[in-house]
Chains A and B, each alone.
Chain A
């Protein structure tokens, strides 16, 4: 079962910041949060990941709350090419042997409007 909850869809104006929320209230202390996106009918693309601290890379920023029960992915200046389904994922270690798996939810369909 998915460990994350995301809104099914969101709109954002081109050039504005897109803020995508994610709830992961049952996350364990050593489980990372990952974000991927999937443009229609293509393979998903990695965006960013984090554990406790906020993270930033060339694509996005990830803000994780202090209690780690939720996070927000920020695309600072959204373009039309950012239209995609964005997945907030928890990385788990089901067998406790450090062989990790990604647990995917249904994602948020982000539509960037001109």
Chain B
């Protein structure tokens, strides 16, 4: 089945530690996205990538980093510089960022920093 996988579903970390969230897609999509969602809120864009080895900052990139070494993979690192990292993180992909390309979402990773 084609789709997007995120792992793990739940993640706990101590304050001050960096943590990397995994996102993999087998839809052959060029574009991938990372969003953050806080309780009762909509999604906010952290980073997006239109093509391998290229990525752009979204609205709330501070304290996060990404890489796009393979088309299928777009890992997100939450660094210790992120002041309030506890949130629900969603990865998405689309055929491209232009036109009417629907974004397909993974199941999300709920990160709790203790």
A residues contacting B by CB (< 8 A) are: 2, 32, 41-46, 49, 87, 98-102, 104-107
Q: How many interface contacts (CB-CB < 8 Å) are there between A and B? A: 48
Kindly state the separation between the CA atoms of A2 and B44 in the bound complex, as whole angstroms.
10
Q: A104-B44, A106-B42 are in contact. Are A99 and B97 (CB under 8 A)?
A: yes
B residues contacting A by CB (< 8 A) are: 4, 40-45, 48, 50, 56, 58, 88, 90, 92, 97-98, 100, 102-108, 110
Complex interface: chain A residues within 8 A of B110 (CB): 41
Kindly state the separation between the CA atoms of A32 and B40 in the bound complex, as whole angstroms.
24
A sample of 29 cross-chain residue pairs with beta-carbon separation below 8 angstroms, ordered by A number, consists of: A32-B100, A41-B88, A41-B108, A41-B110, A43-B4, A43-B92, A43-B105, A43-B106, A43-B108, A44-B43, A44-B90, A45-B105, A46-B102, A46-B103, A46-B104, A87-B43, A98-B97, A99-B50, A99-B56, A100-B97, A100-B98, A101-B45, A101-B48, A101-B97, A102-B43, A102-B103, A105-B42, A106-B41, A107-B42
